[in-house]
Amino acid sequence: MNRLHATKDFWLAALRADSPALQDAVVQAGPGVAVPGCPDWTVADLVQHLTSELHWVRETTARGVTDRPAEAPVVTPQPDWDAALDGLRRELTGTIETLEALDADFPAWNWAPQAKKVSFWQRRMAHEISVHRWDAESAAERATPIETKLAADGVGEVLDTWLPAGRRKGPTDLHGVVHLAASDAGYEWFVRLRGAGVALLDTGTILDSDDHHARAQATGTASDLLLMLMGRIPADRLVVTGDPRLVTALRTG
């Protein structure tokens, strides 16, 4: 299987679970601490980024139209740390309330080559907060894995959304098939690289007699697979066979 068929309720539950943990971690770490997974960022930078992004998503999704918004999120520095924390809390609460109130099929612009619906943002923000929760906990030196099913869906989002949207940060001159396997979730994905092109193969229709031409395989927990794809941990944290360059070619963060 290459995609968890998650729903609005699944993604909103993840947002509700990770949001308090994110806030606790940024408070514990403090504003001036470096964020290991985000080069050149401090925890204060992470808070500013999230606050601005959440506000932008909340306003954008509620418009009910699919045309591109005029402006991208603008990072606005807060006057002090307590105000920044309060701003993050308010935007987390407001975004969850907005996404909860909107039907998954409600029209909303997104940057990917797929249906322009609010479900994109319900899914996107669940993963945005889960990965940044991990970032904040890393800064506080107590990172915990992303929940298994959520991480498996996050891997799927990288492969079916980020990569087709041209948001790869790995090399784009390689050819071959990469097999990703989540050892704790029973999920696997086959991805074919054709230079700059990428295709997620439907493992539900692949027959035993088909030749996958697999040239690399990476096995690990769903959380570690997602964190590797998002550029948070190195590929050598996984069990990699074949050409490791094919694995890193899937990175989007």
Tens digit of each residue's pLDDT (9 = 90 or more) over 122-155? 999 999 999 999 999 999 999 999 999 999 999 9
Better-predicted residue by pLDDT, 202 or 204: 202
Q: Which amino acid is at 104?
A: A
SS3 203: coil
Fold of 151-248: Nonspecific Lipid-transfer Protein; Chain A (3.30.1050)
d(CA 253, CA 61): 24
What is the model's pLDDT at position 170?
87
pLDDT band at 75 (very low <50, low <70, confident <90, very high): confident
What is the model's pLDDT at position 207?
47
Q: Is the pLDDT assigned to residue 214 strictly greater than 80?
A: no
Better-predicted residue by pLDDT, 123 or 210: 123
Smallest CA-to-CA distance from 222 within 148, 128, 129, 123 is with 148
Task: List every span in the chain annotated with CATH 1.20.120.450.
Answer: 8-144
Question: 97 is written with which tokens?
Answer: 């309330």
d(CA 3, CA 211): 21
* Helix spans in the chain (H): 8-29, 43-61, 81-101, 118-139, 148-157, 222-229, 244-248
Task: List every span in the chain annotated with CATH 3.30.1050.10.
Answer: 151-248
What is the arithmetic mean of pLDDT over 151-162? 96
Domain 8-144: assigned CATH number: 1.20.120.450
Q: CB of 178 within 8 A of CB of 144?
A: no
Question: 92 is written with which tokens?
Answer: 């987390």
